[in-house]
Each structure stands twice: as structure tokens, then as C-alpha cells.
Structure 1
Amino acid sequence: MNSLKKKKLVIVGGGAAGFFTAANVDGDQYDICILEQSGDVLQKVKISGGGRCNVSHACFDPRELISFYPRGNKELLSVFTKFQPSDTMEWFQQRGVALKIEEDNRIFPHTDSSASIINALMEAALQNGAKILTNKVVKKIEKRDKNWIIKTASEEFIGDSVVFCTGSSPKSYQLLRDLGFDMVDLVPSLFTFNIKNKSIEGFMGTSFPRAWVELPRLKKEVAGPLLITHWGLSGPAVLKLSAWCARELFAMDYQVEVVVNFLGMHRSNAEAILNDFKSKNAKKNIGQAKIFELTHRFWNASLEMKGINPSKTMGNISNREVQLILDHLCNNRMQVKGKSTFKDEFVTAGGVDLKEIEFKTMQTKKHANFYLAGEVLNIDAVTGGFNFQACWSEAWLIAQALNRTKELVS
């Protein structure tokens, strides 16, 4: 007579998706083993949000939520209807991690420390009996009878099921190619624009809360906060634009014209505001005028760049000078000449073709009992906790699918 024996689950990758799977799988059904190639687990969780861990984003409508994913949005709709940010918040809060929603809707632990999230994931995984093995570089994965054989340099691990969630490592992608999966080539996403332009030279750290950034050649425009850095332009607006145009910008070798509207308003509106201020403050020096939401230094440098004396009174500003100011602030054309990685939160577009996945369970169509989650898939999002949310949701579906598998193992 057969007895109910624990099945073996091997999770390849000790990141967010891997640990969330291990935390939600039924430990009474499974012997769980996490294989991490580096010397430490949950490294992206640790550095996310400047070490505070941007757990998710307070967007609770799945149809709105998918709009933050340049790739994978259609497929994720069904995923998010089953597990979304409110579920993520509840999961962590039930495990003693108080969360907060900040003004920009990003979700963080109250402690402002990624350690709170890491400890909760570790504790939940360990409670399920998960074995966490680091410095285990997987060299090969193959099917042997009904089992999966996962080979490292010195060991073999046997699994009834495999969850593969290694992130975007090229070596990991080769393992998947060897298993016959169709792959979409990797290109960088979420990067800043390298720009040398007098308009922004010397203004590192200056931010614009409501800007518009456009790539005319690609017919794509994004609104949001903008930041000048020592290498060019960054901030949510640029990062979002880089994500949506990741493949096109890669093909163009990151050489493209960008149009910046520092004010984040239509030129006609800006003109009306400037002329209204001019008529009401004719005797005020333009350099001292606070007309738009700009720093005093940036405003004065803009005037000087256009040959306008900051000491000139508003009443003496000509219509031609008004148009020069508006050109500079609302239609500033710059040349992008390369990119830079955004902090340590490197994200790629590309990975396993989404046609390979059954999104009700995250099981692959080619191989039974082989699941994929996280950045290994051709799914990515803009900044703000969205990439983690995809990991939590996909891992949740995998755990539920595994928990429903109750066949006897002899």
C-alpha cells in the first residue's frame, strides 16, 4: 500500500520569486530546496528602494496595474486578478511586517528597512522546512523518467517539480535554451540617458516634479518627475520612457533626440502664465520672478543662456524673449548619447517567450512540473515596486498549483 510521501521541490534561484514560492508551498507535501548561485540570497530585495525595499505599489485595479508593464501586461491581467498588491500587503502584515503607502503610492515596510521583508520571507520559508543552499551554480537540468535532475559542479539534486526563477542571468538562459524554450533576446531596461548639454550642465541634483520627456522619432512621451544627474537625465519620467522603448533604443545604440518640457505643461499655458505675471509685475526683475516651479539658479541660468539679462524688468521683456524662454523650458531638444544603469536595480527586457507559459499556474507548456517566475520571463515593469509585485503574484500561483497536486509518491 502506498503512503503519502513528501514530494521533492527544487527552486533554482534564491530571490523574491523563489522565496515567495517556498513560503507559500505546503511544507507537509514538499521537501523544499532552494539553490542560489551566489553567496547570499534575496540580494535585489536587500538593495531595492535604497535599502528600504519597495515591496509593491498601491494600485489595486488589475486593469490599471498592468499599464505599468511594457512587456507582459496582457498575460499578467489574469495573474493579478488572483493575487495583487492588496494581497501582498495582507500577506506581509499577517507575518508581522507593518507596511505603509507613500505619497507616490509606493509601498514600503514601516521600518524603512529591507531586513523586515527579508526576515519575513526567510522565516516563512524555513517554517515550511525549506533548505537554503548558497554557492550552488546549476550546470545542467535534465529529465530522467518522471524526475528532474539538477546538476551543480559537485552534486545532483532530484526534484518531482522545479521552479526556475534565477533572474536574467545569461548562463541561466542557456540552461533554458537547452531545455528547448524559445527565448527573447535580452536588452537593458530602466536606464538613464547620457546627455551633454549646456541646459543641464552643472545642475546635478536639480529636479522637476512635473516634466514631460519625449522621443519624437519613436512617437513616445512620458510625464513624471525628472532629475538632472552628472551624466544626464534620470528620474521616473526617463526610467519609464527607457522601459517602454527598451528594444527600440537598443536598436538605435542609444543615440536619439529627446525633447524635454521642464514645466510639464502645454506651451500655450506656460505663455499665458508668463504674460499674466509680466502684466501684473512690470517693475519686477525677471531674475527674481517666481513664475514657474523651478529653482532660482536654474531659472536664472536659463535666462542667461538665452541672452536675457536677469536684471531686466518684466515690463521690458519683449515677445521674442518670451518665446526664447518658452523654447528653452517647454521644447528643449537634446541629444542622447548612451545610457547608464539606474543604481543597482538593473532590469532587463527579454527572457522566456511568454507563449511558453500557462499563466493560470506558471507551468511551462513544454515540460510538466517545470515552472517559471520573475525576471527570467519576458516581463518587466517601470520602477515603483511593480517588478516585485509580478514576482509575488507569479510565485503565489505556482505555490497554489503545487499545493493542489496531491498524488501519492511511492
Structure 2
Amino acid sequence: MKIAIIGAGAAGCFAAANIPANAGHEVRVFEKTGKALQKVKVSGGGRCNVTHNCFDIEELAARYPRGRQFLKKTLHRFGPADTIRWFESRGVQLKAESDGRMFPVTDDSQTIIDCIWKEMMRNGVQVQYNKSLNALESRPGGYTLRFADGSTYEADKVLVACGGFPKDEQYAWLRAIPQTIETPVPSLFTFNLPGNPVTSLMGIAAEVSLKIAGTKIREQGPLLITHWGFSGPAVLRCSAWAARELHDRNYTFTVLINWLKDKDDDTLRTDIKRLRTEEGKQLIDHKSPFGLPRRLWEYLLQESGVPEQTRWADLTAAPQNKMIENLLRQSFTVKGKTTFKEEFVTCGGVRLKDIDPATMQSRQHPSLYFAGEITDVDGITGGFNFQNAWTGAWIAAQSMVKEA
């Protein structure tokens, strides 16, 4: 049997690594670029955030803005515990960090790449590069793959694992099958604040609570100020949950920042009252009483109209109220987005109700399978998108071999 895998990314290569050589199949992976596993290489700052330290399926599925119900069915088949066992049984130990992200103990993504690649080569997988697919044509007993270089390949089974596409027209070859595609829009992106003075604080990070005005979307966690705006886990998670809504707003919206994370008005007013009593003679800008970076604290005081050399005992009502507002609900107008490094993620893709979660096979097209980001599944940051790739790829590999 001839199995064609479209895409040499996480899902495609992991599927190939799970099709045993003794099954007697010819497995070919077709990659449109000149390299394999590139997103694995750059993820997690080059460390590869393999999965997440979460083993409750309900809780795990809740980390995916799109695809939650589908994943409740697939993650039972191959979840984070299975991912850990798969790599550890091949000599790669994983470790969990305090936020739940899991990395190889080597802190090197090449460890993950080498492990998957070794399994692929052991299985006799052939990888062909610079093979951009133009058309996928059904034929009796299988499919004909037509590539941009004019070559073709006859396959009995096809796994589409080429990742998500940023532009709708890039799905034309799938729509022609025909296959319903949920319109793609970016997920996991940073917020642009053109001309905002906060960008002068680039490089400063803080633990915040962040809310997108006019929505119920709220996140807590690290925020990083950059020369173009806001980045960091809290921002990226918000971008994932609000991906379609922010797209509809043309990425122009208001974000509210609580720089003190979980403090509220009553608590903060009590703190300030105490400071006026206990630290009355101290200059307000001398040090931050709330653990904020010094430069950020000075910026917030300036934005609140607190004069330099003001002592806590001399703080008047107007700047105090403005300071409270800025500390708990500072408003920023976002105009535009920036893709997060090279870890591009989209929401959208192959409609999930067209895929059988037990096999990852198309419900309309026999012997056609989907795995990874090509499906309308995307997770927040923390290893969730890779886990979806491993899960779908493993199920598809098992299903293709079993049916054969």
C-alpha cells in the first residue's frame, strides 16, 4: 500500500514515525519547502514545548478556543501521558515547568526532531522536498497527487498534514475535492500600539490581568512590552480566544490592563491609605510599593499626573484617583497585530464535522485523512497545538495501517 503524507511538519512526520516498517507499506512525505519540522525547531525559543502537564481531558480540551468537543474524543486515544511515554520509550525524557509547559530535559528542540526522524528512517519513510501540491484528484482505489513541478504520485491513502494557511485561496486545492473549509484567520499574535508612549518601556515584563473591552475575554499572566506594543503569554492567549472577533474588528480594539493582576479598587485604596500613613514622608516615585519594575512605576505615575518629588502624605485626590484607574484599568487602543515570531498559528481549516475523530478520516472521501493545524483546531500557547498534532497524527497512522 502506498501512503502519501502532505507536509513534513509535526503532524506529518509524527504520523510517518508511527507507521511500522514491517507493515509493508511505502510511505512518502511530501514537503513544499526544503526543510522538515521547522516549527518544531523554533518553538519554545528553540526548546520545543512538546506538550502540557495536564492529564484531565475536560481541563485539557478547555485550552482550545476551537475544537474542544472534537478533542474530547481524540485526546482519550492519545493524550499528553501517551506523548510523554512515546518519547521516553525512545530515550527522550521530558520535564514540566511551573506553568505546565513540558520540554525535553536537554532544552533543545533538536532532541525532539532527532527522535522523530530516527523513527521515520527506521520505518523506511521517504521524504521529498520542494514538492508543492497543486491538486489532489480522486481515482479508483486512491488519489493522484499533482505537484507544481509537474510530477505526480499515485497513492492508496493520503494524510493531509500540511499545517494551516493564512490565506483562504491557499485552500483552493482542498475545496476542489470538494472539502468544506472554515475561513482561516490568524491566532496567537501580538498587539500593535503605534505611537503609544508605553513602547518606550520595551523589554519590561509584568504579571497582569488583561481584558479586551466589549468582550468577556480576560487572561492573566506575563505581559511583555515591546517596541511595537504588547506580547507575552497573556496577550497571545487573548489573541487565540478572540481570533475571529478581532479579525472582524480589523484588529482595532481597546485592551484594558490591570498592572496589579488581581487587585481591585477596595484593596488598592486600602493599600494607598496605609502608604499615606506609614510611608507618608517617602517620595512616591522613590520605589514601587507593588512590585512593579521601576521604569513602569515611573511611567504610570507620569500618566496619572503625579508630580515628581510628591510624597505619599501629599498625594491629592485627583492624581490618586487617576493612578488607581491606570493601575487597575489602563486603556490602550490596539491598531494592528504582529505574528508571534515564526510560530504561526491559524484558526480555521478543514471543518471538524467532516472528520471522524476515531480515525481522522474524511467522512466524505474514503482513504483521505487529516491531522494537525490543517483542521479547525487551535490551542493557546503552552504545548497545546503540538499535542493536537501528535494526537491526530497517531490516530491517523493507526487507522491507515489497520484498514490496510
Q: TM bucket by the smaller chain?
A: over 0.9
Matches within 5 A, 1:10-409: 10-29=4-23, 30-152=25-147, 153-169=149-165, 170=167, 173-196=171-194, 198=196, 200-209=198-207, 211-265=208-262, 266-406=264-404
Q: 3-state DSSP class of the match of 1:28?
A: helix
Equivalent residue letter for 1:159: A
Q: 1:402: Cα distance to partner?
A: 2.0
Give, in whole Å, the separation in 1 of the partners of 2:317 and 2:196. Answer: 24
Alignment partners' CA distance in 1, 2:270 and 2:339: 39
**Which residue identity is paired with 1:226?**
L
Alpha-carbon deviation of 1:199? 5.4
| Structure 1: distance between partners of 2:125 and 2:91 | 20
Aligned structure 1 segments of 4 or more residues deviating by more than 4 angstroms: none
Per the TM alignment, residue 27 of structure 1 is displaced from its structure 2 partner at its CA by: 2.1
Contact 1:8 1:32 in 2 (8 A): yes
1:3 matched residue in structure 2: none
The alignment's C-alpha RMSD in Å is 1.5
- Partners of 2:265 and 2:173 in 1: how far apart? 53
Q: How far 1:197 moved relative to its partner?
A: 6.0
Q: Distance in 2 between matches of 1:54 and 1:201?
A: 28
Deviations 1:298-339 (A, max 9, x none): 112221232213422222223433212111111111111111
Name the amino acid aligned to 2:315: I
Residue deviations 1:376-404, cap 9 Å, x none? 11111111111110000111111121232
TM-score, L = length of structure 2: 0.95
The separation in 2 between residues aligned to 1:156 and 1:136, in whole angstroms, is 10
CA distance in 2, matches of 1:54, 1:288: 40
Structure 1, unpaired ranges of 5+? 1-6
Which structure 2 segments of 5+ residues have no match?
none
Question: Structure 2: how far apart are the matches of 1:49 and 1:258?
Answer: 26
Figure out how many residues of one structure are paired with residues of the other and give that number: 399
One-letter amino acid of the structure 2 residue matched with residue 73 of structure 1: R
SS in 2 for 1:166: coil
CA distance in 2, matches of 1:172, 1:368: 23
